[in-house]
Amino acid sequence: MLNDTDNEFLCRVGAGTPMGEYLRRFWMPFLLPEELPEPDCPPVRTTLLGEQLVAYKDTNGDIGLIDNFCPHRRASMFFGRNEECGLRCVYHGWKFDTNGDCVDMPSEPAESNFKDKVKIKAYPAREYGGLIWAYMGPIETMPELPKLDWATLPDSHRIMSKRSQESNWVQSVEGGIDSSHISFLHSGVTPYMRDNPGKRPARRGAGAPLDFTTVDTSPRFAVDDTEAGLLISARREADDDRYYYRITQMLLPFYTMIPGAIKPGHQIGGHAWVPIDDYSCWNFSVSWNPYRPFTDEEVKQHWSGAGLHALTDNKYRPLSNKDNDYNIDREEQRYKTFTGIKGIGEQDMGTQESMGALSWRAGEHLGASDSAIIAYRRRLMQEARNLQEGVESFAATHPEAYAVRSASVLVKRGESYLDAAKDRLEAKV
């Protein structure tokens, strides 16, 4: 557990907080391209790290991310006119380009140079890897965009979705690296199969002869530091000669990669949990196949509402949410699934939001299955403390460190799971 002081240190993201300053050293995804579909389209409100901002795509196709509040009289730039390479405030006509420079001030005398003295807060923004990204840190430390496996693939090889989540970003990431919960939260085990493991069916289409995650519900964990984050290995019993390992990548500060199938060639899943503020975050879910494009049938299945990609309204709020108890079906829970909630994304969201908008970690009782959670908190807090001492994060400044994958492997007892998975953990076809 964490005391209240450490919990505040870990979770708060506002400007000037240790973790907020650390997060500002990274590029962060915050919009889907469909939200800014064409030059001079309507601007979009957004909040990142507690800052109210407005994003727009100018006449040249460049993306601007500026303060929501016009520096003149604080009117919202969301109502601005997106025209001729700038966003013009509708109150008095002040116009700002993507760099935050005031390029027109028609309410002032023509001979005035006042516009040359006024700027609006602006952050670099780029479209990359199927998302729109922002960098909110010092310009002198701005890195290249991270070489995440899914970001370097063609659009046809990935499926992306966005949803809002009403919980702090850290507890959301922690759900993504918790390999023990899949034996319960995402289980489709009926009461009979729960009590008779030998009667459970083989896993279909995942490359494993048995669903080891339901046969062995108490995995043994090993956590290794990597350049970009953590390598989290959960070992389960497979048979008399072998272990089954699910190896998760946790990439700083908020990316998770779900282990794929045992056989190579299958798709991989992952998330980015981007802080809106201290009490909510954006979840970007990604399914990608490094080996081939998705088929039409696979795309249809991903948008069925049963997997990672939650169905949302036009504001990206999930249709199943805390206001309707995630549409829990108690009969389904009694006879068919562990939760009665449809959708892996919705199951994760329901439990993570149920902890409260910012979880009180002093009330936790952590066990052996929580070793990855403990390691993540320690690593994240150490990274932020290093920055306070003037040491920049290696992960933030080395985008190539993100070129990795997660993996699942069967390993003979006594052999190294890291050796067995080495080639699978590198982002290459």
pLDDT of the residue at 417: 86
**pLDDT confidence bin for 332, thresholds 50/70/90:** confident
> Is the pLDDT assigned to residue 22 strictly greater than 60?
yes
CATH H-level, domain 27-141: superfamily: Rieske [2Fe-2S] iron-sulphur domain (2.102.10.10)
Q: Strand 122-123's sheet: what is its strand order?
A: 44-48, 51-57, 63-67, 122-123
- C-alpha count within 13 angstroms, C-beta hemisphere, residue 84: 4
Do strands 51-57 and 125-128 pair parallel, antiparallel, or not at all (unpaired)?
A: unpaired
> Is the pLDDT assigned to residue 207 strictly greater than 50?
no
pLDDT in tens, 33-53: 999 999 999 999 999 999 999
pLDDT of the residue at 178: 76
pLDDT of the residue at 180: 65
Read off the pLDDT of each residue in 242-251 and give the average, rounded to a whole number. Answer: 91
Bigger pLDDT: 260 vs 419: 419
**244, two tokens:** 């089954």
Contact 10, 170 (CB under 8 A): yes
* Phi/psi of residue 318, nearest 5 degrees: -60, 145
pLDDT in tens, 141-181: 999 999 999 999 999 999 999 999 999 999 999 988 876 66
Cis status of the peptide bond prior to 43, with omega within 30 of 0 = no
Specify which residues 123 forms β-bridges with: 65
**355, two tokens:** 């902890």
Domain 149-425, second-level architecture:
Alpha-Beta Complex (3.90)
> Is the pLDDT assigned to residue 185 strictly greater than 80?
no
Rounded to whole angstroms, how far apart are CA atoms 296 and 180? 32
* Distances in whole angstroms, Cα of residue 354 to Cα of each of 9, 320, 360, 383: 22, 14, 12, 28
Bigger pLDDT: 148 vs 265: 148
* Phi/psi of residue 36, nearest 5 degrees: -130, 75
For the chain, percent of residues with pLDDT exceeding 90: 69
pLDDT in tens, 65-87: 999 999 999 999 999 999 999 99
**pLDDT confidence bin for 204, thresholds 50/70/90:** very low
Angle at 83 between CA 82 and CA 89, to 5 degrees: 55
**pLDDT confidence bin for 1, thresholds 50/70/90:** confident
pLDDT in tens, 266-317: 889 999 999 999 999 999 999 999 999 999 999 999 999 888 899 999 999 9
Domain ranges, ordered by start, for the chain: 27-141, 149-425
Task: State the DSSP H helix or E strand holding residue 172, giving kind and residue range, or none if neither.
Answer: helix 169-176
Number of neighbouring beta carbons within 10 Å of residue 248: 24
pTM score, whole prediction: 0.91
| Rounded (10°) CA dihedral 228, 374, 414, 203 | -90
Specify which of 42-46, 107-111, 416-420 reaches the highest per-range mean pLDDT: 42-46
**pLDDT confidence bin for 192, thresholds 50/70/90:** low
57 three-state secondary structure: strand
* DSSP assignment letter at 119: B
Helices within 293-360 (DSSP H only): 296-302, 330-335, 344-354
**357, two tokens:** 């908008």
pLDDT of the residue at 203: 43
Lowest mean pLDDT among 19-28, 188-197, 277-286: 188-197
pLDDT of the residue at 199: 57
Q: Which of 130, 6, 4, 25 is nearest to 394 (CA)?
A: 25
Place of tokens 């109150």: 91
Rounded to whole angstroms, how far apart are CA atoms 92 and 70? 10
State the chain's mean pLDDT as an integer.
90
Contact 6, 364 (CB under 8 A): no
Cis status of the peptide bond prior to 253, with omega within 30 of 0 = yes
pLDDT of the residue at 26: 98
